[in-house]
Structure 1
Amino acid sequence: MATVTPTPSPRRWWALGALVASMLVLGFDLTILNVALPTMAEQLGATTGEQQWMADAYVVVFAALMLPAGLLGDRFGRRRMLITGLGIFLAGSLIGALAGDVTAVIAARAVMGVGGALVMPLALSVLPSLFGPDERGKAVGIISAASALGMPLGPIIGGWLLDRFWWGSVFLVNVPMVAIGVAACVFLLPETRDPSSPKVDTVSTALTATGLGALIYAIIEAPGRGWGDPLILALFAASALLLTGLVLRERRSVRPMLDMSLLAHRGFLLNAVAATLVTFILSGLLFVLPPYLQAVLGHDALGTGVRLLPMMGGLIVAARGAQPVVARFGPRAVVTAGLVVLAFAALLGSRTTAESGYGFTALWLSVAGVGFGFSVVPAMDGALGTLPADRAGSGSGLLMTLRQVGSAIGIALLGSLLAGAFRDRLDVTGLPAQAADTAGESVVAAHLVGGETGSADLLASANSAYVHGMGVVLLVCGAAALVSALLAGAFLPDAPRAETSEAPDMAVAEADARQ
């Protein structure tokens, strides 16, 4: 990627502040909606499937467009496309704040995904034009901290807003942050391009978006329609054909947008699978936990956000402390141990009952956070560390795309598993057919029906059914983590095989910042 050697100037740190604001808002937007979903489900009448789409619309679009968005910045100007991305993100936030129904919220989240796909890679790609090699590591570290800080801030900010304002405030909070970012980019960032970068392949972009969209739609709709429903089977088949077409097209391309040949590197492939699985589990847990904390345990939105901090705290502490442990014991041992800890936490969490209380939840959440941190960061570093220096950029892009796909599938698959288990266990005996159908849509809906009918039995059944469904999800997460730990221990290489250079180091740091 062509770069311009920067002239040291105090302005570059103000410019970094603009990028930090952009990354911070993307960071807390990944988690701010989770704590708002129970409130939105109550006020908009959203089913579990619709809540999954509210969360997944952003992630699916983000994953499909991140690579072509980065190439657009290289070709037409990174500052210009970064400002465009922030503007699109701002428009999506305004649409979400003013939305009056579930469809409008899903559309808003999709628009925000387009903006986020432009902002995320381009915020990192402008750093070489601002900072020399001696300062670049510090700059990437600051952006990494901003992105990491956004995740635990999301539920807290969202909870505080929901306790004082209407649910649209979780979208409206983006407006001042994005406006500051746009103004700072206009006045502080230099324009850079790389005309030699690959052209955006519109066919590959369309195959990615439609293939992922069909897959996610099938997974979310299957519990209600049935896994053998003709539409669901047709969507799975279409997704398989579209994604196979994507792989074949990219493999034949001279300058592929998504470099699938990187998966031939065993170390990259296995570490990428491990990092993707951890993201899959994390996204699923952040989807199923807020309704438990709010509907079952009865905490308000702010209390729910604060009670998610043990997992976030454990994740951040372990992520920051992973490197010394890797230096001492090797990446294979650390990734394997992290996955074992994660499996233990998930299996422990599956023992949660409706009467367990928050203390038990905080315990296994803390352990889960430690497992996440010690598995995902060494896995990402290990994936990129196995690649030659000239493949570090494309490897980083592929790795982050795989992680976003894992996030989308985690929300869809684990959310659908939860919905099916909840509906099967919920006792709606004696309720009218329409009320029974409504109660089966989600634990929030069941509480609303129970409140309207005065049925204490329905409320108790809803809590028990939801905790049962969450336990099933956690058992699946634990089993998946344990299988991954066994595979990591058996097959992961114990040290990077490529030459050490600044390029892969930068790619690793950039990938960390994009978490």
Structure 2
Amino acid sequence: MSRLGDRRWWAIGALALTGMVVGLDTTVLNIALPTLATELRASTSALQWMADAYNLVLAAFMLPAGLLGDRYGRKRMVLAALVVFSAASVLCAYAGSPGVLIIGRGALGLGGAFLIPLTISVVRVLFDEHERPRALAVAMAAQGVSFPLGPIVGGRLLYDFWWGSVFLINVPVCVAAFIGVALLLPESREADPRPADLPGIVLSALALSGLTYGCIEAGEKGWGSPASWSPIVAGVVIGLLFVRWEGRTVHPLIDLEVFRSRAFNWGVLMATVMSFTMFGALFAMPQYFQAVTGTEAQGSGIRLLPIVVGLLAGAGPADRLVKRFGSNVTVAFGLVLLAAGMVAGTATDVDSGYLLSGAWLTVAGLGMGLVFPAAMDSALAALSAERSGIGSSLIQALRQVGATIGVAVLGTILSAGYRGRVDTAGLPAPLGATVRKNVQAGVAVARDLRSAALLHSVRDAFVHGLVLMLAVSAGIAAVGAILALIFMPGRQRRRSAGRPREVTAAAPGGPGPHE
């Protein structure tokens, strides 16, 4: 038996904590924004940058993070990222101005840029193809739990303590993860590091930042705004320059040969499709619970728990299904369940009870739980252990962009459906414009005017937009299922029952972690 034995699974448990803290921080800020607007006297623009700073830094540094992990040691980089994430959380908690909080959020994005891909790359190094889907399911489940946990924990903390507590909650989780990673995770790195591709790093950072920022702006201002499409166009152009450079340089940041792998391409695409639809639902459903059903923020988080239950239930048997039926069938079946859940969600109306929402969220979560481990395992199998850091960073960067685009595109469909249906006849022009801005503003105006008719119209219009969004999401998932079945590789003969050889020892001259 390996010297590591079952310690590998405890190490993955410690890494799962890092995924949880990153996911928790992603959602908890949304709960705190109204309080921050008052306590820090933050403008709407400042509030937007509190969210955007995290996403932009995350996008810019994700590929360099994978490179540094491969060169200098993945364990070392994860530990350093946990320190950065903890320090940034303290900075955010005690920020005395919007500017300081924005800087702190950017620092959180820097920590997250290392934690997200390196967690997956370690799975590629520690586990063989027999065990990898199960290890990925553990890592994914922790992050999945964190999304509804953010509103639950954040709402409770805001009720009992001051707003900074929503950031301080990261610190004990990071400390626990740090101790676990330090004690349990073996070091791994590239045996023969390549020279750093500095032009590739800069071009990739600019391309991913441009695409991310443009999609964020599109969600706020619409796709027709120059503030939306100009950064997207710039990101695409720079991305093409990046690809051209990578094909010509001697030591590329990304080995473009990986895109010749059908398993890699379709695995990444299916994981991105899942992220696209999942984040659209996570964006819309809290608004539905709060604006239409009148639930508080904390209660909205609780009502999202069925998606986590389904996700955990799907992730459990995913590896067994991959072994028996192949990645293509498993991913296709998961996407069919995801589509079926969202089709059921289109039956929602203003008077629907929670039973319908809970049921379709569970089915959708079950599909997500099947798709992610199988799709990621397919993509990771195409990577060498030595370059798993940069390869995992590429996978996660593409997923991140897909999630951002999903929120922007599906959010636009939701907003268009709402604005096209809400009835503002008889309202003064300024109030009508406020109502059409979003459902929260519409509910606030209706309550101020004590107009039951306007309140019903606002809620009905939002549900109409939600149904349109779910229908589009279901269609995307269904098309993805067909493509997965046709193009993804099926069952493949396993090369070895042993774990992959580690690429370097924890210390020079010492025994390798798998000896």
Same-fold call, TM cutoff 0.5: yes
Inter-CA distance 299–164: structure 2 relative to 1 (3 Å threshold): farther
Other-structure match for 2:453 = 457
| Structure 2 counterpart SS, 1:58 | helix
Name whichever of 151-160 and 183-192 sits farther off: 183-192
Other-structure match for 1:259 = 255
Name whichever of 288-297 and 248-257 sits farther off: 248-257
Is the contact made by 2:124 and 2:385 (CA closer than 8 Å) also made in structure 1? no
Inter-CA distance 223–47: structure 2 relative to 1 (3 Å threshold): farther
Q: Distance in 1 between matches of 2:487 and 2:6?
A: 48
Other-structure match for 2:168 = 172
**Residue 248 of structure 1 pairs with residue 244 of structure 2:** yes
| Structure 2 counterpart SS, 1:356 | coil
Inter-CA distance 342–126: structure 2 relative to 1 (3 Å threshold): closer
Is the contact made by 1:349 and 1:364 (CA closer than 8 Å) also made in structure 2? yes
Q: Distance in 1 between matches of 2:151 and 2:36?
A: 14
Q: Distance in 2 between matches of 1:85 and 1:39?
A: 28
Cα distance per residue 1:190-230 (max 9 Å; x no partner): 87765732344343333233323322333343466554444
| Structure 2 counterpart SS, 1:494 | coil
Amino acid at match of 2:261: H
Displacement of 1:406 in angstroms is: 1.6
Q: Which residue, 401, 404, 410 being the options, matches 1:405? A: 401
Q: Which residue, 461, 465, 470 being the options, matches 1:469? A: 465
Q: Distance in 1 between matches of 2:288 and 2:317?
A: 30
| Structure 1 counterpart SS, 2:300 | helix
Name whichever of 358-367 and 445-454 sits farther off: 445-454
Is the contact made by 1:163 and 1:300 (CA closer than 8 Å) also made in structure 2? no
Amino acid at match of 2:154: G
Q: Which residue, 481, 487, 495 being the options, matches 2:483? A: 487
Displacement of 1:231 in angstroms is: 4.5
**Residue 234 of structure 1 pairs with residue 230 of structure 2:** yes
Q: Which residue, 325, 333, 336 being the options, matches 2:329? A: 333
Structure 1, gaps ≥5 residues long: 1-5, 508-515
Displacement of 1:310 in angstroms is: 0.8
Q: Which residue, 354, 359, 372 being the options, matches 1:358? A: 354
Cα distance per residue 1:124-150 (max 9 Å; x no partner): 777999999xx9999988766655554
Is the contact made by 1:211 and 1:238 (CA closer than 8 Å) also made in structure 2? yes
**Residue 420 of structure 1 pairs with residue 412 of structure 2:** no
Displacement of 1:313 in angstroms is: 0.8
**Residue 316 of structure 1 pairs with residue 309 of structure 2:** no
Other-structure match for 1:435 = 431
Q: Which residue, 79, 94, 97 being the options, matches 2:93? A: 97
Name whichever of 47-56 and 214-223 sits farther off: 47-56
**Residue 383 of structure 1 pairs with residue 379 of structure 2:** yes
Displacement of 1:95 in angstroms is: 4.2
Other-structure match for 1:510 = none
Is the contact made by 1:294 and 1:300 (CA closer than 8 Å) also made in structure 2? yes
Cα distance per residue 1:356-375 (max 9 Å; x no partner): 12111111111111111222
State how 1:127-146 maps to structure 2 within 5 Å.
Answer: 146=142
Is the contact made by 1:389 and 1:499 (CA closer than 8 Å) also made in structure 2? no
Is the contact made by 1:223 and 1:420 (CA closer than 8 Å) also made in structure 2? no
Displacement of 1:271 in angstroms is: 2.1
> TM-score normalised to the size of structure 1?
0.81
Q: Which residue, 295, 302, 310 being the options, matches 1:299? A: 295
Q: Distance in 1 between matches of 2:254 and 2:218?
A: 29
Other-structure match for 2:509 = none
Amino acid at match of 1:119: L
Amino acid at match of 2:268: A
Q: Distance in 1 between matches of 2:481 and 2:8?
A: 43
Inter-CA distance 99–436: structure 2 relative to 1 (3 Å threshold): farther
Cα distance per residue 1:447-497 (max 9 Å; x no partner): 223333333333222212222222222111111111111212222221237
Name whichever of 171-180 and 480-489 sits farther off: 171-180
Q: Distance in 1 between matches of 2:132 and 2:320?
A: 21
Other-structure match for 2:208 = 212
Other-structure match for 2:286 = 290
Amino acid at match of 1:491: F
> TM-score normalised to the size of structure 2?
0.81
Q: Distance in 2 between matches of 1:500 and 1:188?
A: 25
Q: How many residues were matched structurally?
A: 503
Q: Distance in 2 between matches of 1:207 and 1:16?
A: 32
Q: Distance in 2 between matches of 1:16 and 1:382?
A: 19
Is the contact made by 2:117 and 2:396 (CA closer than 8 Å) also made in structure 1? no
Name whichever of 348-357 and 137-146 sits farther off: 137-146
Inter-CA distance 53–251: structure 2 relative to 1 (3 Å threshold): farther
Other-structure match for 2:511 = none
RMSD over equivalenced CA pairs, Å? 4.3
Other-structure match for 1:447 = 443
Displacement of 1:65 in angstroms is: 1.6
**Residue 370 of structure 1 pairs with residue 395 of structure 2:** no
Name whichever of 313-322 and 150-159 sits farther off: 150-159
| Structure 1 counterpart SS, 2:328 | helix
Inter-CA distance 426–342: structure 2 relative to 1 (3 Å threshold): same
Q: Distance in 1 between matches of 2:261 and 2:474?
A: 27
Q: Distance in 2 between matches of 1:382 and 1:12?
A: 21
| Structure 2 counterpart SS, 1:440 | helix
Is the contact made by 1:346 and 1:478 (CA closer than 8 Å) also made in structure 2? yes
Amino acid at match of 1:368: A
Is the contact made by 1:155 and 1:308 (CA closer than 8 Å) also made in structure 2? no
| Structure 2 counterpart SS, 1:380 | helix
Inter-CA distance 427–52: structure 2 relative to 1 (3 Å threshold): farther
Structure 2, gaps ≥5 residues long: 504-515
Q: Distance in 2 between matches of 1:270 and 1:128?
A: 18
Other-structure match for 2:512 = none
| Structure 1 counterpart SS, 2:437 | coil
Name whichever of 475-484 and 406-415 sits farther off: 406-415
Other-structure match for 1:109 = 105
Q: Distance in 1 between matches of 2:489 and 2:126?
A: 36
Q: Distance in 1 between matches of 2:66 and 2:385?
A: 19
Displacement of 1:426 in angstroms is: 2.9
Displacement of 1:244 in angstroms is: 0.9
Cα distance per residue 1:89-138 (max 9 Å; x no partner): 23432344355787766554332110112234455777999999xx9999
